[in-house]
Structure 1
Amino acid sequence: MENLLSTSSDSRPVALITGGARRIGAIIAENLHQAGFNIALHYRHSAKEAQAVVDKLNQQRSNSALAFAADLNHLQEIQHLAHTLLQQWQRLDVLINNASSFFPTPVADASEAQWNDLMNSNLKAPFFLAQAFAAELQQRKGCIINIADIHADRPLKQHPIYCAAKAGNVMLTKSLARELAPQVRVNGIAPGAILWPEQNNGLDDATQQEILQKIPLARSGSPEDIARAVRFLVQDAPYITGQIITVDGGRSLCN
């Protein structure tokens, strides 16, 4: 996509990052902004954090970032997000499906509401966002990147619904790569131990150490590792589609 970059803000390529207000999503947004993209930053509840990221990017380059609120559980809001974004920017070149719910759902206690939450954020929203932007991405010869998880292939105990949703996300990536070819490339990134879950979904110190001991590189990764993988797939991988790049320090090699 290097041929899309220019010095004119009106003709710069645009990247949408869902869940872009915090954590990995915010770092992806900053990295692509540094690469010359205008940024559409989606958020659901994190309005203050989203605006802080947008303000930071606009200080670096004026009129280069906007925040868009949407609840991706609802198809109508997904479609409204797509319509509003295209009205504002007049283009979309890259869709990063990063927004994701994550929490344990032991079989004995899991509810339908939890099923819907995890499936909607990890599977439904990426599909319908791809649908909503398909024509625009095909016109721009753009790309889609889905943030998957190593646990799509290696289930995490007490997280059966999340793992099933991410497994669906992986197959969605491969299916969309066939459906939208040759104009649109679709790939995924499967992070390993990058950031520990927050608050009530967190892991105790003993569990964290147990995970780290299974990583050949003997350390956790950083959000920048994911952002660099995203940038590679966006800018430097014109002949890669339908693939899942694992960024886990080698953890998936071990039992």
Structure 2
Amino acid sequence: MIPFETMPGSPSSPVALVTGGARRVGAAISRALADAGFRVWIHHRRSDDEANRLRTEIGTERCAVARADLASPAERSALIAEVADPEGPFDGRLDLLVNNAASFEHGTFEERTDDDLRRVLEVNFVAPLSLVRGLLPRLRAARPPSDLVPTPCVVNVLDLGALTPWPGYVDHCAAKAALENATRSLAVALAPHVRVSAVVPGTVLWPDDPAFAEGAPARRRIEARIPLRRPGTPHDVARAVLYLAAAPYVTGEIHRVDGGRLAAAGVSGPTEA
């Protein structure tokens, strides 16, 4: 357990914004941060029911919900203004920004359009940088420090598409690879006052597709390539976010949570059995 000095939900508790924080991995991150002692902004685009249920679960005094389409510059600006508002639920404080929201659209390179590319880039690359830039004054002003986040921190959530080619997701991979590089560049640009790292989940949640049902051949092939011989869980990713937030001497880190899958890529033998 990571120690912390403030009671959960108290005015001195650190504040986190989790984009895409109402569902799937984002919800696990929101819960883990709240359980650790953060007050949490849950951002979503159209998951009103899930976001409000999660807010009730966490506690309405410790959690706020914000809705925005991150592909829209105007809605991004409105989200920044809402989080930074000194009259808002958490007085404009922000200690941790988790850029988790993503667009994941499949299609062959030939059938994808320039508009498709722009939309994916807006959500997966432009929006995270826009939020960092817009919320940077609040991050730099965050006080008092906490064991949960000793210095203000940004954690970008990538995926293995940032590091390996996925032919059916060319625009997605390009956007995530750009964000991976931007993570390291921002870590240098914003030091020493703001730390910036990224977490790279591997196989965590299976698609809602019969081809990936329990025991299906495609699923077994993927699991066989993971040295730890199992998929991860959303909580595995959330624990990595907590670590990166709490580690005062870690910045510019691209932290893989993939069970060793990328390390074993191209290796023959037991991992391919």
What is the TM-score when the length of structure 2 is the normalising length?
0.86
Q: Distance in 1 between matches of 2:173 and 2:191?
A: 27
- Give structure 2 stretches of 5+ with no counterpart: 143-150, 267-273
Deviations 1:208-227 (A, max 9, x none): 22211111111100000000
Partners in 1 of 2:226 and 2:240 — Cα distance? 19
Which letter maps to 1:65?
A: C
Does structure 2 conserve the Cα–Cα contact (< 8 Å) formed by 1:148 and 1:189? yes
Q: Give me the whole-angstrom Cα distance separating, in 1, the residues matched to 2:208 and 2:52.
A: 21
Deviates more, 1:46-55 or 1:7-16: 7-16
Larger radius of gyration: 2
Q: How many angstroms apart in 1 are the aligned matches of 2:232 and 2:152?
A: 28
The residue number in structure 2 matching 1:57 is 58
Among 236, 242, 252, the alignment partner of 1:231 is: 242
SS at 2:228's partner residue?
Answer: coil
5 Å matches for 1:105-254? 105-140=107-142, 141-198=151-208, 205-235=216-246, 237-253=247-263, 254=265
Higher helix share: 1
Instruction: Report % sequence identity.
Output: 37
Correspondences of 1:33-44 after superposition (within 5 Å): 33-44=34-45
- Return the offset for 1:180: 1.0
Structure 1 unaligned regions, length at least 5:
none
Contact 1:105/1:114 (<8 A) preserved:
no
Change (3 A) 1:100 1:199: farther
Deviation of the 1:113 alpha carbon: 2.6
Take 2:166 and 2:221, find their aligned partners in 1: how far apart are those partners?
A: 13
User: What do you get for the CA RMSD once the two structures are aligned?
Assistant: 1.9
- For residue 200 of structure 2, what is the amino acid of its counterpart? A
Comparing 244-253 with 202-211, greater Cα deviation is found at: 202-211
Comparing 100-109 with 219-228, greater Cα deviation is found at: 100-109
Q: 1:25 to 1:184 in 2, by over 3 A?
A: same
Relative to structure 1, is the Cα distance of residues 8 and 215 closer, same or farther in structure 2, using a 3 angstrom cutoff?
closer
For residues 117 and 138 of structure 2, the distance between their equivalents in structure 1, rounded to whole angstroms, comes to 31
User: Following the alignment from structure 1 to structure 2, what is the Cα–Cα distance between the partners of residues 32 and 165?
Assistant: 26
Name the residue aligned to 1:45: 46
2: CA distance between counterparts of 1:157 and 1:190? 19
Change (3 A) 1:203 1:127: farther
Q: Is the 8 A contact 1:105 1:161 kept in 2?
A: no
Question: Which residue identity lines up with residue 93 of structure 1 in the other structure?
Answer: D
Q: 1:16 and 1:128 mapped to 2: Cα distance? A: 14
- 8 A Cα contact 2:9 2:62, kept in partner: no
8 Å contact kept, 1:5–1:12 = yes
Residue equivalent to 2:12: 11
Query: TM-score of the superposition, structure 1-length normalised?
Result: 0.92
- Closer, same or farther in 2 for the Cα pair 1:72/1:4, shift >3 Å? farther
Shift of 1:86: 2.2
Deviation at 1:8, TM superposition (A): 6.1
Task: Give the 5 Å matches for 1:78-93.
Answer: 78-87=76-85, 88=88, 89-90=90-91, 91-93=93-95
* Inter-partner Cα distance in structure 1 for 2:17 and 2:8: 19
Paired residues, number: 250
Contact 2:9 2:38 in 1 (8 A): no
CA distance in 2, matches of 1:22, 1:139: 29
